[in-house]
Amino acid sequence: MIVTAVSDHRAATFDQQELVQKLAAPNDAEIASLDAWWRANNYLTVGQIYLQGNPLLREKLTSEHIKPRLLGHWGTSPGLSLIYAHVSRLIKQTGQQAIYLAGPGHGGPALVAAGYLEGTYSEVYPKVGLDEGGMLQLFRQFSSPGGIPSHVSVTTPGSIHEGGELGYVLVHAFGAVMDNPDLLAIAVVGDGEAETGPLEGSWKGVSFLNPAHDGAVLPILHLNGAKIAGPTVLARKDPAEVRKLFEGHGYDVLEVEGEDLPGMHHRFAAVLAEAWGKIRSIQTAARGGQWDGTRPNWPLIIMRTPKGWTGPEKIDGIKVTGTWRSHQVPLSGVKGNDAHMAELEKWLRSYKPEELFDATGAPVAQIMDLNPPGELRMSATPHANGGLLTRDLDMPDFRDYAIDVKVPAQGRAESTRKLGELMRDIYTRNPDRFRLFCPDETNSNRLGAVFEVSDRGFMESVNDEDVKISNTGRVMEVLSEHNCHGWLEGYNLTGRHGMFATYEAFAMVSASQTVQHGKWLQEAAHLPWRAKVPSLNILLTSTAWRNDHNGFSHQGPGLIQVVLQQRGDVARVYLPPDANTLLSVADHCFRSRSYVNLIVIDKQPQLQWLTMDQAIEHCTRGAGIWEWAGNDDGQRDPDIVLACAGDVVTMETVAAAQILREKLPQMKVRVVNVVNLMTLPRPKDHPHGMAETMFRELFTDHVDVVFAFHGYPGAIHQLVHGRPDADRFRVRGFIEEGTTTTPFDMTVRNKASRYHLVMDAINNAKRLPAGASELKAWCEAKLAKHEQYVVEHLEDMPEVRDWSLGDWAEH
Amino acid sequence: MIVTAVSDHRAATFDQQELVQKLAAPNDAEIASLDAWWRANNYLTVGQIYLQGNPLLREKLTSEHIKPRLLGHWGTSPGLSLIYAHVSRLIKQTGQQAIYLAGPGHGGPALVAAGYLEGTYSEVYPKVGLDEGGMLQLFRQFSSPGGIPSHVSVTTPGSIHEGGELGYVLVHAFGAVMDNPDLLAIAVVGDGEAETGPLEGSWKGVSFLNPAHDGAVLPILHLNGAKIAGPTVLARKDPAEVRKLFEGHGYDVLEVEGEDLPGMHHRFAAVLAEAWGKIRSIQTAARGGQWDGTRPNWPLIIMRTPKGWTGPEKIDGIKVTGTWRSHQVPLSGVKGNDAHMAELEKWLRSYKPEELFDATGAPVAQIMDLNPPGELRMSATPHANGGLLTRDLDMPDFRDYAIDVKVPAQGRAESTRKLGELMRDIYTRNPDRFRLFCPDETNSNRLGAVFEVSDRGFMESVNDEDVKISNTGRVMEVLSEHNCHGWLEGYNLTGRHGMFATYEAFAMVSASQTVQHGKWLQEAAHLPWRAKVPSLNILLTSTAWRNDHNGFSHQGPGLIQVVLQQRGDVARVYLPPDANTLLSVADHCFRSRSYVNLIVIDKQPQLQWLTMDQAIEHCTRGAGIWEWAGNDDGQRDPDIVLACAGDVVTMETVAAAQILREKLPQMKVRVVNVVNLMTLPRPKDHPHGMAETMFRELFTDHVDVVFAFHGYPGAIHQLVHGRPDADRFRVRGFIEEGTTTTPFDMTVRNKASRYHLVMDAINNAKRLPAGASELKAWCEAKLAKHEQYVVEHLEDMPEVRDWSLGDWAEH
C-alpha cells in the first residue's frame, strides 16, 4: 500500500546532494506549476468563504452569489497553501511519505481546497466532484449548517489534527512519527498558536525523537504577524532573539521571508530543500550506523509572509493585508455594498480562475501535474487515516498475570504491578506499535516492569547514575501531561497503540485534550471513510483517596466527570477494584477501537477480591452482586443495598457489610460492585447501560441504595437519573474538603468510611432490627477513636489499616 | 503598614551601585549568618520529613522518634532554602518588598521552615512556638492526617502559590507584580516544572510587564538535574543552548553553579546582587523618564546545585545526592535498619543543631539576625495575604448601563457590550487595581469599550497599523488561557480585582487552574489569618450554542460541570439571559470575595427580557417564574413547567411557551428562568440552594418539568437530586453531536429547539387538551421545514431567526 520511501537504507545510496540541489532550484515550468496550484488553492479558499453561486465567475458577481453569513479565516490560508504546494513538489520528486498538520487550523478552507485539488476530496465525498457543480458544493458546505466546520477537522482528508483548540500541532506531529521511520510530519505552527502553553511546551519533542527508529518532524513557524485582533509576541520580537529561542530549543533554524513573486517560490523551494536534505542526512547517518547518539539539531523553518497575502491590500482606505484585519473575513458587508462587491470580484479574478480550471470546472493539467500519486498525496496518506494501518496488538494472555486469589480480601498487592508486567510483554511482542506515556511516574505507578524490556527514551545526555534511560528507549516520560497526552493521540491516530498513565488529580491538566480527542472520535464515527483507530487509554493512579498527605491539590477525581459528558459511543469509565479485574479491563481496552477508555485504580497495596475467572465474569457484566460480601442470600428484598465503584470505597463497603453481618445479622444486606461505570445509565443513554431487568436484579426498584463512589457524588446522581426511583440512591463520594459536610459526604481524610456507611445503611434500611441504634453509637465511638488515634500516631488505627475480610473480629 | 521600599522615586537618589557592591560581597560574619540560617532551615526540613520525637537530637535517635510513614520531598529543599536566606539578606539591607514563589512546591518543608525561622509561623499558629515543643509540633504536623500538606500551600504563611500542580509559578508571579511597582517576586522554577506546557508558555510574561507601573519578577531556574525518577531536559542540554533559550525568551541570563561552601554563598550573593541591581536600574530609568519604551531584558538566574545537596552522598553504596534518588525521602526504611538510622542521625547532626538552637529550642541570634523586620519578612508580607491589601473597587452604578426594556423580547442587543461599558468605567475609577485578561478576544467578545480608556499592554514593538496596543496598556491579551487565568489568580491573591473572559469551549484548557484555585479558596476559608481576596471572575462567551459554523471543537459547556464539583462555599455559576441580568450579576461578582464566579452568556445580538428593576429582583432571587411568558396565572397546578437556564435556551423556551399559549391555550404552562444555577440544589448542598418552599413554588412537587439547559443535561440531574420527585425533571441540554440522540437531547445544530420543547411539553403534561396531537404534528412539520430551509439557504428560517415575542404569529 505504502510507496517505498527514500528512508529505506538501501535507497540512501543515490546522490542525495544532487536531489537537494535540484529541489532547491525549480525551473520556470516548475515555478509556473507551483504558482498555478497555489493560485487555484487561494481561489478555492476565497470561494469557500464568500460564494454560494457562480463558482467559476462565469458571470459578474452579484449579491445572490454571496453567502448570507460570511465565515471563515482568510489570513493564515495563503501561507498554508504555499507550503502545501511546495511540499507536494518535494514528495513527487523524492517519494517522501509526508503528513501535513496545520496548527493554524482556522485555515480550514486552504486544506480542504488542497484535498480537493488533489482529487482526494471527490474520492471521499463523491458529491463534491472535480467540476463546476462539485466546486459549488465545496463552497456551499463550508462553515454551513449540516456542512463542514471552518477548521481543518476530522472531515478533512489528510488531517489528524483538529485546528480549533490551539496548541497541539507539535505534540500530534511528534506522536505521529514515533516508530514511524518513513514518515515526515510537516507541522505548521501559527504565531498565535505559538503563544499557548501547550505549544511552547512541545518544542522539546526533539529531545525525545530517535532518528533511527522514528520519523521526522519539520516545524514551520509561520510568522504572519498577527492573531485575531493584534500582533503576536514572536512576530514582534527582534528576529535575532527569535532565532536564539529556537536554537535554544535545539533546532537548526532556517529563515525565509518575503512576499515578492516568483521570488518567494524560489526562496521557499530552496529552504525546504535545505531542510529536507538535513533531515535525510541525519536519518541516513543514524540508520547507517554513523551516529554518535547525541540529539540531532533538526531543522526548523521560520517563514515570514504577510497575513492575508494576495488578498485586498486596503479596504475602504484601511490597510488589511499584513495586519490582523485580514484574520477572518476581510471584506464584510459585501451584499448591498457595490464597492466591496467589486473589490471581492477583483480579488477573486486576480487568481485568474479561467487559467486554472477548464470548461468543466476541473483543474488544468498544470495544476494536477503537481499532485503526488495516490497515497503519497498528503490528503490521501493512510498515515492520516491511521485505522487503515492499524494492526492488532499481539497480546499475551492476560490471565497469565493473574493474582491467585483463594479467598477474597486475604492479601494485599499492588494491582498496577500486574498491569506493568502485561505491558512489558506487550512491548516485547509489539516492538513497533506500542508505547507507554507517563509524566515521570512509571516506577512510582508500579508499572516499572516495562523497564525490563525498554528504557525511557531521551535524546539529551545521560550519565552513569541514570537508570533505564537511553536514546533507544521507547517508554516516554516527560513532565508534561500535554506532551504525553498529545503524543499518544498522534500515535493512536496514525494507527498505533498505547497508554497514558498519570496522576488522577493532574489529569485535569490535559482534560481539554481528552475532551477534544473524544469529540474527534465521535465525529469520525460518522464518516465511513475514516477507519477506526486504537483507543485512547488513560490510566489514573495516585488517586484522590490516597493523597491525604499531599493535600488538596493532589485530590480530584474530575476527569471521570469530564469523560462522563462525552457521547456513549466513545466514553468508557472503568473502576476495577483489584488486579484481576484491572487485567481484564486493560486487555479489553487494548483490543478496543476509537474509544476514550478511562481506568482508575490506585497504585498502593490493596486487598484482592476476585479470582481471574470471577474477574472476567464480573468485568463482562460490568456490575454484579458480590454474594459472599452480603447476607441477603439472593433474596429479592434486602433491607439495604450497599453499592460501590472504585477500589478504596469497595474495601470500605465490604468492611461495612462485614460489620453489619456480624453486629446486626438480622438485617439483610446486599453488596453490589460496579466496575464499568457506564452500565449504570439507561441503555438509551449509553450502549453499555444495563437493561432495566438487570438493574432491578442488582438494585431492586424500591430498596434504598447506599452508594460509595470513588468520584464526585453528582456523577452517580446523573448516571442513575431515569432509573426506577432514582431518589433512593444515597451517594457517598469524594467531596472537596470543607466545613459544611452534608450527611452523605465522605472525605478522604477519614479512611474509616466504613463506619459512616454502616450508619447510612441503618439510617436508610427498610426494616431495622433491634440493636441498630446501639450499632450506630458503636460506629460513632469508632470514628472518634480513629480520629484521635490518627492525630496521635499519624496513621490509621491498625484495625482499619490492616483490615482484611477473614481477620475481622470484635475489637 | 508596608515599609516604604526603595522603589520610591525619591529614594532612588542614593548610591545604588554602592549598595549592590556591598550586597555582592558579604563579609565573614554575614556568610556565617547566612550559613547558620541555611543549616537551620535544612535541619528543620529533614526533621519534618523524619521525626516525630527528639526534635533537637538531645538524645540518640531511635525508632520511636521516626514517623510511621515517611513522606515529603527533600531533593529541591536545600536549594529553595539557600535562595530564601540570601533574599532575606537582600531585603534587610535594601528594604525591598519581596514575595517568594516556590515553583518546586514539593519543597514544602523548606518554606514552612523558613516561615518558622522568621517567627511568622508561630505568630499565625501559636501552637507551633519557637521552642522545642513548637518544633516537635512543626515536625509532627507535616504531611500528617489533620496536619499540613507536603507542599507549599495555603497553610504556608507567605505563599500565594500551591506547589502541587506544577506549571504556574511564573504566571502567578507576573500577576502578583502587575500594578504593584514596589514588589519583587522571586519565582523559583524547578527543572521538572520547567518541562510543563503552562510553565514554558509563561516565560513571555516579560513581554507584558511595564517597568514603570508594574513590579518585577526575578525567575531563578533551579537546575538540580532531576525530577522524580530521571533527568530533566534542561539539566541535560548543553548549557550554552540553555542560555540561548532564555536569551531568546528575552532575559539577561546570569548563571551560578556549584556546591562548595562557603564559595556558593559568595557566588550566590554576587549573582543575586547583580540581578537586583539590574532590576533597580531598569525601574529607576523607567520611573525617572529615562526609558525608551522598549522591553527591558530583565535578569534571570540559572542556578545549578546538586539535588538533595547536603544530604547523604551515598546510601547503601549507591549515589543519592545529585541524583533523582534524593527527590523524596532519601533514607527509607529507617525503623529497624540500624545503618540507615545512624546515617540519618549523622545527616541531622551535620547541621550542628546545638549551634543553631538554644537551650529552649529557639533559633540563636545569629539566625534571627538575618530575618528582615515585620512585614518585610517574606513569610509575613501582606502581598502574600492579599486580602489585607484589598480595597473595594470604586464601582459605578451598574443600573446606569441598563438597556431600556419596555416589553420583553422586542429588541436584540449584544449584552456583553454593556458589560464592556461597565468595565471601561471600572478601569477609569480604579487605575491601579482592576484588569481584564482575555486571549485576544476582547473586541470579539464585544467588551471593546475598555479600549476607550486603556490599550492592550504589550512590551514588544508596535507599528502604525496596530490599534489600542502600547506599553502602557493594562488590558491583558495573550493567546494563552493559562497565562490569562494564572495572571488573574496572582493579581487576585495579592488583593486586586479582575476578570478572565474567554471562549466557552476553550475554558477547558485552563480547567485545572480553575479547579486548583477553587481548592485554594476553599482551604483558605478555614484559616482565620487568611483575609478574603477578590473573587476569580470568569466570563464565558462564544458559547456552545452559537458555534455550529465552527464545529465540534468550539462547542463544549464543560467548565460549568467542573465548577459544579467545587464546594458550595466557593462555586458560583450564573447564566444571565440578557444584558440587565448580566449587569446585575457582574456587579455582584466584582464586589464579592473569595469565590469562583462563572458567568456564561453569549456575545451575539440576543433578545432582551427584563427591565433593570426586574433584572435586579430576578438575580436577587436567583430564579423565578416569568408570569408574562406563561399562562398559568399563578395557579398552583400548571400542566407543565417549562424551565430554562442560559440565554439561547431561554429564548427557545419562551418561544415554545408562546406557541403553546397560541395553539393550545387550554394547556396551562408555567415558565421558570434560572439565572443562579446554585439555587437548584438543596440548601444543605449549597448555601444558595433555595428553600424547599420556594422550590415548590417554582416547580411544584409533582408537575413534570421540561428543563432547557445551556450545559450538559447531567448537570441538572445532579443539581436537583434530592428535590421532591426529581425524576420528573426532563432535561434538554447540550449534547455532543452523534447518531444516537435520546428523546430529551437538543442539539446545537438545530436552533429551532422550541418545537422540540413544545413536543416535550405535550408528551409530559398532566392533562392534554384537544389539539395536542395536531400541534405535535405541526411541530414535526416545522422542524422538517426548518431543516430543509437551512440546507438550502445556509441560515435559520426567518420565523426562527427573527422571532420576537411580540411579532409571533401563525406562519
In this predicted structure, the answer to whether residue A642 has a pLDDT above a threshold of 50 is: yes
Q: Which residue of B has its CA nearest to A790?
A: B145
Highest mean pLDDT among A141-145, A324-328, B125-129: B125-129
> Quick one: pLDDT at residue B739?
32
The partner residue sitting opposite A165, judged by closest CB among B506, B715, B726, is: B506
The boundaries of the domain holding residue A741 are 625-801
Beta strand A456-457 with A183-190 is unpaired
Band of residue A424 on the pLDDT scale cut at 50, 70, 90? very high
Pick from A20, A29, A40: which is nearest to A82 by CA?
A: A40
Asked if residue B405 and residue B382 are part of one domain, the reply reads no
Tell me the pLDDT of chain B averaged across its residues: 93
Whether B318 is covered by a domain: the verdict is yes
Which residues touch A271 (CB under 8 Å, ≥6 apart)? Answer: A254, A255, A256, A301, A303
Average pLDDT over residues A534-557: 87
Which residues touch A250 (CB under 8 Å, ≥6 apart)? Answer: A203, A204, A206, A207, A295, A297, A298, B237, B241
> Quick one: pLDDT at residue B769?
87
> Quick one: pLDDT at residue A737?
59
CA distance B278 to chain A (A): 20
> Quick one: pLDDT at residue A256?
98
State pTM to two decimals: 0.96
Contact at CB, A511 and B512, closer than 8 angstroms: yes
Band of residue A2 on the pLDDT scale cut at 50, 70, 90? very low
Cell numbers for B83, please give them: 535562595
Band of residue A14 on the pLDDT scale cut at 50, 70, 90? low
Cα separation, A602 vs A503, whole angstroms: 10
pLDDT: is A811 or B647 the higher one?
B647
CA atoms within 13 A on the CB side of A329: 19
Cα separation, B21 vs A296, whole angstroms: 43
Contact at CB, A553 and B202, closer than 8 angstroms: no
Cell numbers for A200, please give them: 511552547
Cα separation, B381 vs A724, whole angstroms: 57
The partner residue sitting opposite B229, judged by closest CB among A443, A565, A714, is: A443
Contact present, B588 and B619 (Cβ < 8 Å): yes
Cα separation, A495 vs A384, whole angstroms: 9
Whether A3 is covered by a domain: the verdict is no
In this predicted structure, the answer to whether residue B167 has a pLDDT above a threshold of 50 is: yes
The partner residue sitting opposite A550, judged by closest CB among B151, B469, B684, is: B151
The partner residue sitting opposite A197, judged by closest CB among B165, B482, B549, is: B482
Cell 523559583: give the residue: B188
Asked if residue A485 and residue A503 are part of one domain, the reply reads yes
The partner residue sitting opposite B466, judged by closest CB among A230, A440, A735, is: A230
Strand order in the sheet with A536-541: A476-477, A434-438, A497-503, A536-541, A596-600, A571-574
Contact at CB, A458 and B249, closer than 8 angstroms: no
Contact at CB, B726 and A727, closer than 8 angstroms: yes
Which residues touch A353 (CB under 8 Å, ≥6 apart)? Answer: A40, A43, A56, A57
Cα separation, B612 vs B623, whole angstroms: 15
pLDDT: is B465 or A547 the higher one?
B465
Q: Report DSSP state, residue B589.
A: H
Contact at CB, B718 and A717, closer than 8 angstroms: yes
Q: Please list every residue in chain B whose beta carbon sits closer than 8 Å to the beta carbon of residue A166.
A: 479
In this predicted structure, the answer to whether residue B661 has a pLDDT above a threshold of 70 is: yes
Q: Which residue of B has its CA nearest to A503?
A: B165
Asked which of B580, B606, B632 is the last residue of a domain, the reply is B606
Digit-coded pLDDT (tens) for B213-230: 999 999 999 999 888 889
Cα separation, B649 vs B652, whole angstroms: 5
Asked which of A351, A369, A388 is the last residue of a domain, the reply is A388
> Quick one: pLDDT at residue B737?
59
Asked if residue A211 and residue A170 are part of one domain, the reply reads yes
- Asked whether the bond before A262 is cis by omega within 30 degrees of 0, the reply is yes
Q: Report DSSP state, residue A194.
A: G
Digit-coded pLDDT (tens) for B132-162: 999 999 999 998 877 898 999 999 999 999 9
Asked if residue A411 and residue A281 are part of one domain, the reply reads no
CA distance B398 to chain A (A): 28
Contact at CB, A166 and B442, closer than 8 angstroms: no
Digit-coded pLDDT (tens) for A166-175: 999 999 999 9
Average pLDDT over residues A185-190: 98
Contact at CB, A549 and B193, closer than 8 angstroms: no
Residue B273's identity, in one-letter code, is: A
Radius of gyration of chain A (CA): 30
Pick from A172, A177, A205: which is nearest to A188 by CA?
A: A172
Tell me the pLDDT of chain A averaged across its residues: 93
Q: Which residue of A has its CA nearest to B233?
A: A460
CA distance A517 to chain B (A): 9
Cα separation, B98 vs B90, whole angstroms: 10
Alpha-helical runs (H) found in B103-237: 108-117, 120-124, 132-141, 169-177, 197-200, 233-236
> Quick one: pLDDT at residue B752?
66
Q: Please list every residue in chain B whose beta carbon sits closer than 8 Å to the beta carbon of residue A202.
A: 197
Q: CATH code at B758?
A: 3.40.50.920
Contact at CB, A553 and B465, closer than 8 angstroms: no
Average pLDDT over residues B52-81: 96
The partner residue sitting opposite B553, judged by closest CB among A162, A461, A796, is: A162
Cell 433578545: give the residue: B607
Whether B159 is covered by a domain: the verdict is yes
Contact at CB, B245 and A249, closer than 8 angstroms: yes
CA distance A90 to chain B (A): 31
Q: Please list every residue in chain B whose beta carbon sits closer than 8 Å to the beta carbon of residue A144.
A: 549, 794
Whether A480 is covered by a domain: the verdict is yes
Average pLDDT over residues B498-525: 96
Cell numbers for B493, please give them: 491573591
In this predicted structure, the answer to whether residue A617 has a pLDDT above a threshold of 70 is: yes
Contact at CB, B479 and A166, closer than 8 angstroms: yes
Highest mean pLDDT among A463-467, A633-637, A796-800: A463-467
Residue A257's identity, in one-letter code, is: E
CA distance B670 to chain A (A): 23
Q: Which residue of B has its CA nearest to A234?
A: B460
Task: Write b or e for each residue in A660-685: b if 16 or more Cβ atoms lie within 10 A of its Cβ, otherwise e.
Answer: bbebbeebbbbbbbbbbbbbbbbeeb
Digit-coded pLDDT (tens) for B609-657: 999 999 999 999 999 999 999 998 877 789 999 999 999 999 999 999 9
> Quick one: pLDDT at residue A799?
87
Contact at CB, B718 and A722, closer than 8 angstroms: no
In this predicted structure, the answer to whether residue B810 has a pLDDT above a threshold of 50 is: no
For chain B, the residue count is: 811
Q: CATH code at B225?
A: 3.40.50.970
> Quick one: pLDDT at residue A675?
98
Whether B126 is covered by a domain: the verdict is yes
Asked if residue B639 and residue B499 are part of one domain, the reply reads no
Whether B18 is covered by a domain: the verdict is no
3-state class percentages of chain B: helix first, strand second, coil last, to nearest 5: 45, 15, 45
**A417-A421-A422-A424 Cα dihedral, nearest 10 degrees:** 130
Digit-coded pLDDT (tens) for A209-260: 999 999 999 999 999 988 888 999 999 999 999 999 999 999 999 999 999 9
Contact present, A492 and A473 (Cβ < 8 Å): no
pLDDT: is B805 or A672 the higher one?
A672
Digit-coded pLDDT (tens) for A429-465: 999 999 999 998 999 999 999 999 999 999 999 998 8
Cα separation, B38 vs A278, whole angstroms: 50
Q: Please list every residue in chain B whose beta carbon sits closer than 8 Å to the beta carbon of residue A749.
A: 145-146
> Quick one: pLDDT at residue A749?
45
Digit-coded pLDDT (tens) for A736-760: 754 322 323 344 445 668 999 999 9
> Quick one: pLDDT at residue A687?
92
Residue A667's identity, in one-letter code, is: M
Q: Please list every residue in chain A whose beta carbon sits closer than 8 Å to the beta carbon of residue B69.
A: 549, 794-795
Handedness of CA A205, A208, A212, A214 (dihedral sign): negative
Q: Which residue of A has its CA nearest to B227?
A: A440
- Beta-carbon contacts below 8 Å between A and B: 415
Pick from B472, B606, B515, B555: which is nearest to B748 by CA?
A: B555
Contact at CB, A522 and B552, closer than 8 angstroms: yes
CA distance A364 to chain B (A): 30
Cα separation, A341 vs A344, whole angstroms: 5
> Quick one: pLDDT at residue B631?
92
Whether A364 is covered by a domain: the verdict is yes
Q: Please list every residue in chain B whose beta carbon sits closer than 8 Å to the beta carbon of residue A161.
A: none
| DSSP result, B730-761 | EEE-B----S---TT-B-TT---HHHHHHHHH
Cell 487550523: give the residue: A105
Contact at CB, A726 and B727, closer than 8 angstroms: yes
CA distance B365 to chain A (A): 33
Q: Which residue of A has its CA nearest to B524?
A: A738
In this predicted structure, the answer to whether residue B750 has a pLDDT above a threshold of 60 is: no
Cα separation, A286 vs A271, whole angstroms: 23
In this predicted structure, the answer to whether residue A691 has a pLDDT above a threshold of 70 is: yes
Cα separation, B137 vs A584, whole angstroms: 47
Asked if residue B281 and residue B406 are part of one domain, the reply reads no
Asked if residue A29 and residue A156 are part of one domain, the reply reads yes
Cα separation, B269 vs B34, whole angstroms: 10
Exposed/middle/buried for A373, CB within 10 Å: 0-12, 13-18, 19+? exposed
As a whole-number percent, the residues of chain A with pLDDT over 70 amount to: 96
CA distance A245 to chain B (A): 4
Asked if residue B427 and residue B375 are part of one domain, the reply reads no
Q: Which residue of B has its CA nearest to A794?
A: B144
Alpha-helical runs (H) found in A447-547: 481-493, 511-524
Pick from A89, A91, A88, A95: which is nearest to A3 by CA?
A: A95
The partner residue sitting opposite B230, judged by closest CB among A456, A687, A715, is: A456
Q: Which residue of A has its CA nearest to B516?
A: A553
Q: Please list every residue in chain B whose beta carbon sits closer than 8 Å to the beta carbon of residue A462.
A: 231, 236
Asked if residue B650 and residue B541 are part of one domain, the reply reads no
Asked which of B357, B386, B415 is the last residue of a domain, the reply is B386
Radius of gyration of chain B (CA): 30
Asked if residue A119 and residue A241 are part of one domain, the reply reads yes
Exposed/middle/buried for A692, CB within 10 Å: 0-12, 13-18, 19+? middle
In this predicted structure, the answer to whether residue B733 has a pLDDT above a threshold of 90 is: no
Asked if residue B630 and residue B523 are part of one domain, the reply reads no
Contact at CB, B480 and A153, closer than 8 angstroms: no
To test the contact with chain B by mutation, choose from A241, A553, A685 the residue with the greatest count of B C-beta atoms within 10 A, namely A553
Contact at CB, B227 and A569, closer than 8 angstroms: no
> Quick one: pLDDT at residue A751?
60
Average pLDDT over residues B421-437: 98
Tell me how many domains chain A contains: 3
In this predicted structure, the answer to whether residue B345 has a pLDDT above a threshold of 80 is: yes
Q: Which residue of B has its CA nearest to A727?
A: B722
Cα separation, B779 vs B756, whole angstroms: 7
CA distance to A33, A352, A597, B73, per residue, from A132 (Å): 21, 16, 44, 68
Backbone φ/ψ region at B429: left (φ over 0), alpha (ψ -120 to 50), beta: alpha
Exposed/middle/buried for A366, CB within 10 Å: 0-12, 13-18, 19+? middle
> Quick one: pLDDT at residue A741?
29
Which element (helix H / strand E) includes B49? helix B28-50
Alpha-helical runs (H) found in A592-738: 612-621, 647-663, 692-699, 713-719
Asked if residue A650 and residue A582 are part of one domain, the reply reads no
The partner residue sitting opposite A480, judged by closest CB among B197, B480, B526, is: B197
Q: Please list every residue in chain B whose beta carbon sits closer than 8 Å to the beta carbon of residue A151.
A: 550-551, 553
Backbone φ/ψ region at A297: left (φ over 0), alpha (ψ -120 to 50), beta: beta
Whether B611 is covered by a domain: the verdict is no
Q: Please list every residue in chain A whose beta carbon sits closer than 8 Å to the beta carbon of residue B323.
A: 465
SS (H, E, C) A15-27: CHHHHHHHHHCCC
Contact at CB, B550 and A149, closer than 8 angstroms: yes
In this predicted structure, the answer to whether residue B188 has a pLDDT above a threshold of 50 is: yes
The partner residue sitting opposite A553, judged by closest CB among B143, B516, B712, is: B516
Handedness of CA A573, A578, A580, A582 (dihedral sign): positive
As a whole-number percent, the residues of chain B with pLDDT over 90 amount to: 82
